[in-house]
Amino acid sequence: MSIPYDFTSEQWGMLRPKADGVLLPYQVDKVIIHWGGSGYASTTTAESIKRLQSWDAYHLYTKGWSNGIAYNAAIDNPGSIFRLRGLNRAGANRGDYEPDGKPENEEGFAVVWIGGAKSQPSEAAFDAMTAIINSLGNPPVIGHQEIYYHGTGGSRTACPGGDWMQYIADEEWLNAPPPPPPPDADWPQPEAWAAPSWEKAKALGAINEFTVPGDGMEKDEFFVFLDRLGILDMMAELN
Ligand SMILES: [Zn+2]
C-alpha cells in the first residue's frame, strides 16, 4: 500500500521537492506525531498550504536544512494529507527512542498536524492520521514528547499535545472501518467465453471482485486501451 496523499510536494509548492529515497531505502519502524506549534489549527486547505510554505522556507533558509521542511507528511483539520519529504530522512526527530543506535530521523516517519495547543484535532484529522498509519502497515506510533521522556535525547516538548497522546494511547488507528465484504452470490459474473480473460485481468489488479462485467466502457478508456496496446502509435506510423 502507498501513502494516500491528497497533495504532492509540488502541488503545495515545496521549495526543494525530492523523490522518495531509492539508493538508501528509508526503513520506517514507527510513526512519530508532531504538531506544528502552539497556535490554532488551519481551517482551510489554502491556509494549510500557506503555513507549509512558511515552515519550508524557515527550515530551508533560516535553519539551513538543505531539504527544507523537516517532516515526512502533514495533515490538517479539513482532513487532507500532504507529502513533504515523503519516504526520506526527516531530521525533525532528535534522539534515539529504543535506543538502537539509529537516530529517529532515520527510522521514524514524522507526521505533522497543522495545528497547535489552541485548537483540537478534528475527526477528519484523526482519520487522515489513521490512513497514513494504516498505509504503512500499522507500525508503532509515538508522540514527539516521548522521545525526551524515554531519556535518549531530544528536547523537552509538549508536542503533539494531549489529544494526539490520547489517540496514541487508544491506538485509534486499529479501529479503521473494515474492508467491504466480498460480493454475494447474486453479484454479476462474466459469461463463460469471457471468464478466462476476466480472471487474468483480476490477477493483474486491473479489475476486482466488485467490477461489473456489463458496465460500459467510456471513450477515453477505449482510446487509452488502444494506446497501451500500441495500436495508436502503429496507426500514426501507417499514416
Ligand atoms: Zn514535534
Q: Answer whether residue 158 is part of any domain.
A: yes
Same domain, yes or no: 133 and 87? yes
The two beta strands, 73-75 and 81-83, are antiparallel
Query: What pLDDT is stored for residue 222 in this prediction?
Result: 92
- What is the mean predicted confidence (pLDDT) over 65-84? 93
Model confidence at 8: pLDDT above 70: yes
Same domain, yes or no: 60 and 156? yes
Query: What pLDDT is stored for residue 147 in this prediction?
Result: 82
Could you tell me the distance, in angstroms and rounded to a whole number, from the CA of residue 182 to the centre of ligand 1? 41
Q: Report how far residue 129's alpha carbon sits from residue 137's, in angstroms, rounded to the nearest whole number.
A: 13
Q: Answer whether residue 37 is part of any domain.
A: yes
Model confidence at 123: pLDDT above 70: yes
Rounded to two decimals, what is the model's pTM? 0.71
Could you tell me the distance, in angstroms and rounded to a whole number, from the CA of residue 32 to the centre of ligand 1? 8
Could you tell me the distance, in angstroms and rounded to a whole number, from the CA of residue 223 to the centre of ligand 1? 48
Other CB atoms within a 10 A radius of the CB of residue 204 amount to: 8
Could you tell me the distance, in angstroms and rounded to a whole number, from the CA of residue 147 to the centre of ligand 1? 10
Same domain, yes or no: 144 and 224? no
Which domain CATH number covers 129? 3.40.80.10
Q: Report how far residue 56's alpha carbon sits from residue 74's, in angstroms, rounded to the nearest whole number.
A: 12
Environment of ion ligand 1 (residues, CB < 5 A): 34, 144, 159
Grid coordinates of 179: 474492508
Query: What pLDDT is stored for residue 61 in this prediction?
Result: 93
Same domain, yes or no: 51 and 150? yes
Grid coordinates of 48: 494549510
Same domain, yes or no: 212 and 114? no
Same domain, yes or no: 112 and 228? no
Query: What pLDDT is stored for residue 25 in this prediction?
Result: 56
Which is higher by pLDDT, 117 or 107? Answer: 117
> Whole-number mean pLDDT of the chain?
88
**Residues above pLDDT 70, as percent of the chain:** 86
Q: Answer whether residue 216 is part of any domain.
A: yes
Final residue in a domain of this structure, among 150, 175, 200: 175
DSSP string, 174-187: GGPPPPPPPP-TTS
Nearest-Å Rg of the Cα atoms of the chain is 22
Model confidence at 42: pLDDT above 90: yes
Query: What pLDDT is stored for residue 150 in this prediction?
Result: 62
Which is higher by pLDDT, 91 or 29? Answer: 29
Final residue in a domain of this structure, among 149, 175, 201: 175
Q: Model confidence at 177, in pLDDT bands (50, 70, 90)? A: confident
Same domain, yes or no: 201 and 171? no
Residue range 81-94, pLDDT digits in tens:
999 988 877 655 66
Could you tell me the distance, in angstroms and rounded to a whole number, from the CA of residue 98 to the centre of ligand 1? 17
As for how many domains the chain has, the answer is 2
Contact in structure between 87 and 140 (CB atoms under 8 Å)? no
Residue range 133-162, pLDDT digits in tens:
999 999 999 998 888 766 666 667 889 999
- What is the mean predicted confidence (pLDDT) over 31-38? 89
Q: Answer whether residue 183 is part of any domain.
A: no
Could you tell me the distance, in angstroms and rounded to a whole number, from the CA of residue 71 to the centre of ligand 1? 9
Tell me the residue range of the domain where 210 lies.
192-238
| 151-162 b/e (C-beta count within 10 Å ≥ 16 → b) | ebebeebebbbe
Final residue in a domain of this structure, among 123, 147, 175: 175
Model confidence at 1: pLDDT above 60: no
Residue range 164-175, pLDDT digits in tens:
999 999 999 998
Same domain, yes or no: 205 and 171? no
